[in-house]
Amino acid sequence: MNERDRIFVAGHRGLVGSAIVRHLRAEGFDNLLLKERDQLDLTRQEQVEQFFAAERPTHVFLAAARVGGILVNDRQPADFIRDNLQIQTHVIDAAWRNGALKLLFLGSSCIYPRLAPQPMREECLLTGPLEPTNQWYAIAKIAGLKMCQAYRRQHGFDAIAAMPNNLYGPADNFSPEGSHVVPALIRRFDEARQRGDAEVVVWGSGTPRREFLHVDDLADALIFLMRRYSDEGPVNVGWGEDISIRDLAAMIAGIVGYAGRIAFDTTRPDGTPRKLLDVSRLSALGWQPKIPLEQGLRQTWDWYQAHRETIRR
Ligand SMILES: NC(=O)c1ccc[n+]([C@@H]2O[C@H](COP(=O)([O-])OP(=O)(O)OC[C@H]3O[C@@H](n4cnc5c(N)ncnc54)[C@H](OP(=O)(O)O)[C@@H]3O)[C@@H](O)[C@H]2O)c1
């Protein structure tokens, strides 16, 4: 990847896409192809084909997807499986057809079985049943990484797949309905602090353990993989340690300055009991994350405060 290449970041306004753009620009790449959704709807095959035929990107970061927490995944299974299958199918096929040199597909740790041995190695893919709450999304992501493998085998297309764990950072989705756990807790503790609420109720038992990676670490890893990795196996990208939701909530409450009680609603679904990635494949390639959780959460809280008015809700 060099300054003359034409780099398409699909989903450039999202959490991951915007971090990739920040990192590429910081490294001096001005040759980015970025399209708003109203100019290029990736679920529309004819629009995707026209775009690729006209612009002929050489490198593609496929970070566009329909993404969300347990609530929206559970309520909108059709939207999740349809949009994700459409977006990835259109983009991967059009990239190959129009001579792209390389494509990086963003999967997710939810592709692994619900009760996979921890930490989860890339080899545990398709060895057991998925977590039911987000199975629609997971099935689409599995299809995406298999599509990358199939295009590599049949067409020699250099398509690679990265599987991050839970992400957080600037430009996250802070909406009450669509957000993941970190932005949801930041927003809820902030609102509770401002109202002076005595209690905040957190979904689930608080016992599930999750791994969180700052999106700037992820972007760094993705650019590293785009430059250095070319094989059909997916690559896990994580921090390498997990934390219980209870401890995460306490950490975020402390950072936001919420001093009230934190209660847990055990009637709400917990999701997978534990999700920690084995990151030895990526470590062996020579990449390590740099941003510890508390530091990353403080930085995300600062960003949230500075962007309160324009934030994605
Ligand atoms: N967030 C996480 O914790 C996490 C964890 C693991 C993996 N991932 C993966 O990382 C990737 C990016 O996730 P994210 O968290 O950055 O999600 P995000 O913040 O919701 O961003 C998704 C981006 O995709 C764009 N998009 C969605 N549908 C589109 C369409 N039909 N046409 C064009 N653009 C479309 C959105 O455009 P608009 O700006 O117009 O809405 C947005 O820019 C996904 O593949 C996801 O599976 C995320």
pTM for the structure as a whole: 0.96
Report yes or no: 104 and 145 within 8 Å, Cβ to Cβ: no
15 CB near ligand 1 (under 6 Å): yes
Ramachandran angles phi, psi of 212, nearest 5°? -125, 135
- Nearest atom within ligand 1 for CA of residue 41: 32
Report yes or no: 275 and 242 within 8 Å, Cβ to Cβ: yes
Residue 75 has pLDDT above 70, yes or no: yes
What is the residue type of 14?
G
How far, in Å, is the centroid of ligand 1 from the Cα of 259? 33
Angle at 204 between CA 202 and CA 208, to 5 degrees: 110
pLDDT in tens, 287-298: 999 999 999 999
Report yes or no: 215 and 261 within 8 Å, Cβ to Cβ: no
Closest C-alpha residue for ligand 1 atom 15: 15
Tell me what pLDDT residue 277 has. 98
Residue 311 has pLDDT above 80, yes or no: no
Q: Please name which of 220, 233, 223 lies closest in space to residue 289, comparing C-alpha atoms.
A: 220
The residue ranking higher by pLDDT, 40 or 2, is 40
How far, in Å, is the centroid of ligand 1 from the Cα of 198? 35
164 CB near ligand 1 (under 6 Å): yes
Separation of alpha carbons 183 and 231, rounded Å: 34
Separation of alpha carbons 70 and 43, rounded Å: 22
Compute CA distances 211 → 76, 179, 224, whole Å: 25, 16, 21
User: Which of 18, 33, 67 has most ligand 1 atoms within 8 Å of CB, for mutation?
Assistant: 67
Residue 313 has pLDDT above 60, yes or no: no
Q: Please name which of 190, 170, 230, 222 lies closest in space to residue 15, comparing C-alpha atoms.
A: 170
Sign of CA dihedral 73, 168, 14, 33: negative
pLDDT in tens, 7-61: 999 999 999 999 999 999 999 999 999 999 999 999 999 999 999 999 999 999 9
Q: Catalytic residue among 112, 137, 168, 229, which?
A: 137
Separation of alpha carbons 213 and 217, rounded Å: 7
- Nearest atom within ligand 1 for CA of residue 105: 45
Q: Where are the alpha helices (DSSP H) in 165-214?
A: 181-195
User: Is 229 among the residues known to form the active site?
Assistant: no
Tell me what pLDDT residue 68 has. 83
How far, in Å, is the centroid of ligand 1 from the Cα of 162? 14
The helix/strand/coil state of 277 is strand
What is the residue type of 219?
A
Residue 69 has pLDDT above 80, yes or no: no
